[in-house]
Amino acid sequence: MPDAPRSSFVPVHVDIDWQRVRKIVSRTALLAAAIPLTAGATVMAIDKVRGQRYPLDARFPTAPPTDTTIDDTTATVYTYGADLYEAMLDAIAQARHTVFLETYIWKGDPTGERFKEAVSDAARRGVQVYVIFDGFANLVVPPSFFVFPPQVHVLRFPALRAGLLTLNLRHSGRDHRKILVVDDEVAFVGGYNIGELYATKWRDTHLRLRGPAAWELRNAFVDFWNRWRGAKHPVLQDRGAEHWQPALRAARNAPSDLVFPIRGIYLDAIDRATHHIYITQAYFIPDRDILDALLAAAARGVDVRVLVPERSNHALADWLARGRYTRLLRGGVRIMLYQGAMVHAKTATIDGRWSTVGTANIDRLSLTGNYEINLEIVDDGVATTLEDVFRMDESNSREMTYEEWAGRSPLNKVAEKILEPLEPLL
């Protein structure tokens, strides 16, 4: 038999300059990261100039504090910072045993000074005072402001944490909560930080509990204090609840334990909706599950409305939020844009029965990143009050239509795509 034909294939040896390849890959990655980061910085710079020319300082409607009784607890809704601060300062002034104050931002301005003096005075007259503030959020405040009398127990949540660079959730979350509990009898929670700006210039929502349900916020403060206290800090007693109030419960996000129930209460409530969903948010960047839940509700005939600032104090958050507008508007969700001022509330009410008031925004940082607390309330009276507040805020809003949104400039559409990779940061 003849020999089989030999293959004409000749192996070719190719030298690959791996060092050059690595350089190309590295430079490409850096360029890919630099483009959205540069765009984000540009957006914020432009917005800063715009904010100086057109400040968010227009007058806006507010409502007087409104009470609702839930079992043995009185819940009061506040929509104006000056009213809230007077109630908080009055509670501190009347304290007999304990004051627990936790805040994200505490400005060193006249309003901040009033709160500092109030807790200092309480401590001097023998009240046990415990204060928590977030170090990172207050970097611009002079350190001397946070020097209290020795009787005040102060916990500064660290500004720099090990997980920030590696995006490790257990070691990177901020303390975004705002809580005041006095004598285990009266407690406050909501979106208001402490400062002059928030007293009169921002529209926000806070809730006061007077009665047994104050335990929900006391327990949240005590758990956080004991988790993060240093050796110099005393241990707070973890008391059980003598009174169970299932209609009013606190949901607490705790990144160190990878526990994030606030997202869950939103998803559960949205899935139950049959008539209407009213959401007010400062920064609305829902994840896929919440977005899908809202669209599913709208598809089954629920009146879904989301009220957000037309221009907030965080331009980048505004741009990233707009990336959801196309799907929301196409799906029948109505978007209300608050005019002339910053609306900072974190509230929702559904079907005249379920409500939430708290500190969490509907974005990644709040729902799966920061320490947050929201009250979940199943009560017709509170829901009615918050629906009235929502309609009040609607009177200072304009509705974004799909036609208007679809007609935005091509430059805006390109900018939205370029900024999209920055979403994990917010």
Same domain, 180 and 275: no
- Answer whether residue 136 is part of any domain: yes
pLDDT for res 316: 84
**Mean pLDDT, to the nearest integer, of 268-284?**
98
Q: Please, where are the H alpha helices in 54-158? A: 81-93, 110-124
230 and 270 part of one domain = no
Mean pLDDT of 55-66: 94
pLDDT of 21 strictly over 90: no
> By three-state DSSP, how is residue 253 classified?
strand
Which residue shows structure tokens 């483009």? 35
- pLDDT number for residue 29: 57
Specify if 95 maps to a domain. Answer: yes
pLDDT bracket for residue 319 (50, 70, 90): confident
Residue with tokens 């007693």: 237
Over residues 98-113, the pLDDT tens digits come to 999 999 999 999 999 9
What pLDDT does residue 388 have?
Answer: 98
**Residue 173 burial (10 A CB sphere; 0-12, 13-18, 19+):** buried
Most confident of 24-28, 50-54, 193-197: 193-197
* Residue 154, domain member (yes or no): yes
Residue 212 and residue 350 in one domain: no
Q: Within this chain, do residues 340 and 388 fall inside the same structural domain, yes or no?
A: yes
Q: Is residue 315 part of a domain?
A: yes
CB-side neighbour CA atoms (13 Å) of 14: 3
Confidence band, pLDDT 50/70/90 cuts, at residue 337: very high
Task: Provide the 10 A C-beta neighbour count for residue 2.
Answer: 4
| φ, ψ for residue 248, nearest 5 deg | -145, 105
In this structure, are 84 and 158 located in the same domain?
A: yes
Q: Which of 245, 275, 301 is the last residue of a domain?
A: 245
Region 52-78 average pLDDT: 91
User: Percent of the chain having pLDDT more than 90?
Assistant: 74
Taken in order 284, 288, 290, 295, the sign of the CA dihedral is positive
Torsion over CA: 322, 327, 330, 331 (sign) = negative
pLDDT of residue 227: 96
Mean pLDDT of 276-282: 98
Q: Does 40 reside within a domain?
A: no
CATH number at residue 300: 3.30.870.10
pLDDT at 160: 82
Say yes or no: 181 and 279 in one domain.
Answer: no
Q: Are residues 385 and 285 in the same domain?
A: yes
Establish if 49 belongs to a structural domain: no
d(CA 310, CA 323): 14
Q: Are residues 114 and 214 in the same domain?
A: yes
Q: Are residues 330 and 361 in the same domain?
A: yes
The answer to whether position 20 is within a domain reads no
Q: Looking at the structure, tell me whether residues 96 and 224 fall in a common domain.
A: yes
- One domain for residues 224 and 77: yes
Q: How many domains does the chain have?
A: 2
Task: List the beta bridge partners of residue 277.
Answer: 304, 350
Identify the domain boundary among 201, 221, 245. Answer: 245
∠ at Cα 248 (219, 380), nearest 5°? 160
**Domain termination site, one of 194, 222, 245:** 245
Q: Return the pLDDT at 164.
A: 64
**Mean per-residue pLDDT of the chain:** 90
Do 344 and 229 sit in the same domain of this protein?
no
pLDDT at residue 55 is higher than 70 = yes
Show the domain range for 420: 257-425
Whether 15 is in a domain gets the answer no
User: 166 vs 5, which has greater pLDDT?
Assistant: 166
Residue 367's closest CA among 348, 387, 390, 382? 348
Token pair, residue 280, equals 């007010």
